[in-house]
Every structure is written in structure tokens, then in C-alpha cells.
């Protein structure tokens, strides 16, 4: 059995995956105020939303069962998801066969296909949506996501910029552009004609703009904080502030403990060894034990006094003959 790709490719991580933009959920409608075509489209969207909600619950519940030694295998769960999504896919196909020029349906179906791992067909649907409605920023964003993964990356930069131009209050457009810039910093340096360090600072600006419109987004806060690892010279105070803010937005214990590890790392780099140890002592989750152990060893090394002589220093250099 081949597992589903897209947002369901790594089943436990689905909630954090960035799928394509879909049209916003429509308000309750009355057949007296909307056209029959629009009413049918809203019913298809409702089917899609219900399927996503149910699948999210299956994945969450199965993860909890797996921790207790039970739960379905990934192959079985993947098959169950495929079967649940089949009627939704058919509903989209039937609707678009009758209404091929419905831009929002093309956009939504593209996102649905992208979640299934059919990136090539998803891109075709988003391109069609953009052709039908060149004023829709979500279509630009979704195509930018696609080009950001497969290239050319410069096309992604241009499409994100267009999405932001059309809707400058949408946080995810700034967030996505910042993430692609960080991931492809060499390409970004060429595209924007700036240095890689300037690229990272540009990404920081984009993330901060995103935070204005989505201030409680934990993933956004952690992506912003990660940028400080690449900045030269290091800005320890800003990095500590960024990870402290991310910690305040953590949604569960594991996310909170993960931020303790980052705070331990940045405080150790800043010479705050006692505070770094306190953060490490706050981590009890077994899934984070390996990183915690490595950071603890690094703290011990930082706390050791420097060798007193040149010969002693040479003995501590990696690869030095003894």
C-alpha cells in the first residue's frame, strides 16, 4: 500500500502542514439568496470540510492509541482516508464537469488534490483558477507554494509578491514568502540582488509583518525565531526574546518543552549557562531526550575552564594527533 502524499503523507504531522489556500467557508445560505450553482458549490465545500474534520480526528485519535500500543497501521489508516475522500473527489469532478469556469471551485479542488499528493494536477487547477479570475490572491499564493517546492523559485517569489499586493492583510502570504526565502536563501540573494545575511533579515521583516495579522500563531513564531540561528553577528538578546515569545504561544506540553531546548541553546551561546541548565531541566518528554542529552554535553564543555597551555589546547582540537 502506498501512503497518501501531501498533507497526509506524514500522518501525525498533518495539523502543521501548509496546504494550499481554499476559499473561506461560506456562511449559511438560503436558496432564495444564492444561485443554484453557488448553492451546489457550497454543498461540495461542506462535504470537503466535513471530510477534513473527520480525518483530522482519526489521525489524532490513532496517534493517541499508538502511544498505548494500539491503533491502526499507517497503511490501513491511509486506505481508510482514501475511501473517505473518494466521494468528495467525485463531487468536485461532477461539479466542475458542469461548471468548468467556476474559479473558486477550481481553486478548492486544486487544494484538495494537493493534499492527496497530486501536485501536478493541483497546479493545473490553480492555473485554471487564475486564468478565470486573475484578481484572486489565493490562486497566486497556491501557485507560489507549488513553484517554491519544484522551481523555478524565482517564480514563487514573484507570485507571493502578487498575492501580497492583492491582499496585504493576509498573514499566510508573508509567512510563506519568508519561509521560501529562508529555504532558498542563495536563490533569494540572486533574485533580490542582496547578500544572504540581508535575505535572512528580509525574512525576519516578512515574519514580523505576518505576526501583525496573526499574532497567536505558534508555527509562525518558531519560524521567526529560527532565523536568528543564521544571523551574523549573533543577536543573542533578540533570539532569546523570540524563543520566549514562541514559548508563550505553545499549544501543548511537547511544543513548550521544545522551546525550552531552543532557549537552552541560545542562552548557552550567550554565556547564560545556569539559565540554560534550568531550561534543560524543564524537559522531561522522552521524544526530546536525544537533543536534551546533546545540549547537556555541550553545556558541560562550555563550563570547562580553557586549557592552560598551548600543548593542552592542541589535545582538545578534533583530529589532533596524540
pTM for the full model?
0.81
What pLDDT is stored for residue 304 in this prediction?
A: 67
Q: Which of 171, 226, 205 is CA-nearest to residue 21?
A: 171
Residue 259 has pLDDT above 90, yes or no: yes
Give the CATH architecture of domain 151-215.
Answer: Alpha Horseshoe (1.25)
What pLDDT is stored for residue 16 in this prediction?
A: 32
Residue 269 has pLDDT above 80, yes or no: yes
Q: Which three cell numbers stand for residue 303?
A: 563550563
DSSP 248-265: HT--SHHHHHHHHHHHHH
Q: Which of 101, 129, 133, 137 is CA-nearest to residue 113?
A: 129
What pLDDT is stored for residue 23 in this prediction?
A: 56
Instruction: Please state the domain extents for the chain.
Output: 1-52+73-134, 151-215, 220-302
Q: Average pLDDT in the 35-49 region?
A: 96
| Residue 5 CB-density burial (10 A; 0-12 exposed, 13-18 middle, 19+ buried) | middle
Contacts of residue 24, defined as CB under 8 A and 6 or more positions apart, other chains included, come to none
What pLDDT is stored for residue 21 in this prediction?
A: 64
* Cβ 125 vs Cβ 106: under 8 Å: yes
Residue 247 has pLDDT above 80, yes or no: yes
State how far the alpha carbon of 234 is from the alpha carbons of 97, 178, 277, in Å.
Answer: 56, 20, 21
Topology alike, domains 1-52+73-134 and 151-215: yes
Place of cell 501548509: 18
DSSP 267-290: HHHTT-HHHHHHHHHT---GGGHH
Residue 93 has pLDDT above 90, yes or no: yes
What pLDDT is stored for residue 302 in this prediction?
A: 78
What pLDDT is stored for residue 303 in this prediction?
A: 76
State the DSSP code for 16: G
Class of 1-52+73-134 in CATH: mainly alpha
What pLDDT is stored for residue 146 in this prediction?
A: 95
What pLDDT is stored for residue 64 in this prediction?
A: 84
Q: Average pLDDT in the 28-43 region?
A: 79
Distance CA 64, CA 53 (A): 17
What pLDDT is stored for residue 20 in this prediction?
A: 57
Q: Average pLDDT in the 52-64 region?
A: 91
Q: What are phi and psi of 30, to 5 degrees?
A: -125, 135
Confidence of residue 10 (pLDDT cuts 50, 70, 90): very low
Output the CA angle 180-183-184, nearest 5 degrees: 85
Distance CA 227, CA 229 (A): 5
Confidence of residue 308 (pLDDT cuts 50, 70, 90): low
Three-state SS for 17? coil
Distance CA 114, CA 85 (A): 13
Confidence of residue 71 (pLDDT cuts 50, 70, 90): confident
Residue 318 has pLDDT above 50, yes or no: no
Distance CA 86, CA 187 (A): 39
State the DSSP code for 309: S
Q: Dump pLDDT digits (tens) for 213-222.
A: 999 999 999 9
What pLDDT is stored for residue 140 in this prediction?
A: 97
Residue ranges of E strands in 152-303: none
Amino acid at each position: 500500500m502506498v501512503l497518501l502524499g501531501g498533507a497526509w503523507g506524514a500522518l501525525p504531522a498533518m495539523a502543521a502542514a501548509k496546504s494550499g489556500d481554499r476559499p473561506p467557508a461560506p456562511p449559511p445560505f438560503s436558496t432564495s439568496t444564492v444561485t443554484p450553482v453557488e448553492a451546489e458549490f457550497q454543498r461540495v465545500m461542506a462535504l470537503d470540510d466535513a471530510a477534513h474534520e473527520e480525518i483530522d480526528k482519526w489521525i489524532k485519535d490513532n496517534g493517541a492509541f499508538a502511544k498505548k500500543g494500539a491503533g491502526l497501521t499507517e497503511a490501513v489508516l491511509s486506505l481508510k482516508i482514501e475511501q473517505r475522500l473518494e466521494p468528495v473527489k467525485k463531487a468536485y469532478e461532477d461539479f466542475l464537469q458542469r461548471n468548468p469556469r467556476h474559479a473558486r471551485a477550481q481553486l478548492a479542488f486544486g487544494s484538495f488534490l494537493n493534499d492527496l499528493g497530486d501536485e501536478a494536477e493541483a497546479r493545473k487547477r490553480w492555473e485554471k483558477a487564475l486564468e478565470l479570475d486573475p484578481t484572486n490572491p489565493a490562486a497566486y499564493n497556491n501557485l507560489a507554494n507549488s513553484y517554491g517546492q519544484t522551481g523555478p523559485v524565482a517564480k514563487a517569489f514573484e507570485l507571493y509578491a502578487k498575492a501580497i499586493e492583492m491582499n496585504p492583510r493576509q498573514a499566510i502570504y508573508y509567512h510563506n514568502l519568508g519561509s521560501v526565502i529562508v529555504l532558498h536563501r542563495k536563490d533569494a540573494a540572486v533574485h533580490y540582488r542582496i547578500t544572504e545575511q540581508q535575505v535572512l533579515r528580509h525574512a525576519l521583516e516578512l515574519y514580523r509583518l505576518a505576526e501583525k495579522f496573526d499574532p497567536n500563531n505558534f508555527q509562525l513564531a518558531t519560524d521567526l525565531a529560527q532565523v536568528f540561528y543564521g544571523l551574523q553577528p549573533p543577536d543573542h538578546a533578540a533570539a532569546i526574546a523570540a524563543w520566549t515569545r514562541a514559548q508563550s504561544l505553545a499549544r501543548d506540553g511537547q511544543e513548550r518543552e521544545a522551546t525550552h531546548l531552543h532557549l537552552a541553546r541560545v542562552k548557552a551561546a550567550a554565556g547564560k549557562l545556569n539559565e540554560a541548565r534550568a531550561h534543560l531541566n524543564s524537559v522531561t518528554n522522552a521524544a526530546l531526550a536525544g537533543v536534551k542529552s546533546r545540549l547537556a554535553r555541550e553545556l558541560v564543555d562550555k563550563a570547562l575552564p580553557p586549557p592552560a597551555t598551548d600543548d593542552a589546547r592542541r589535545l582538545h582540537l578534533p583530529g589532533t594527533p596524540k
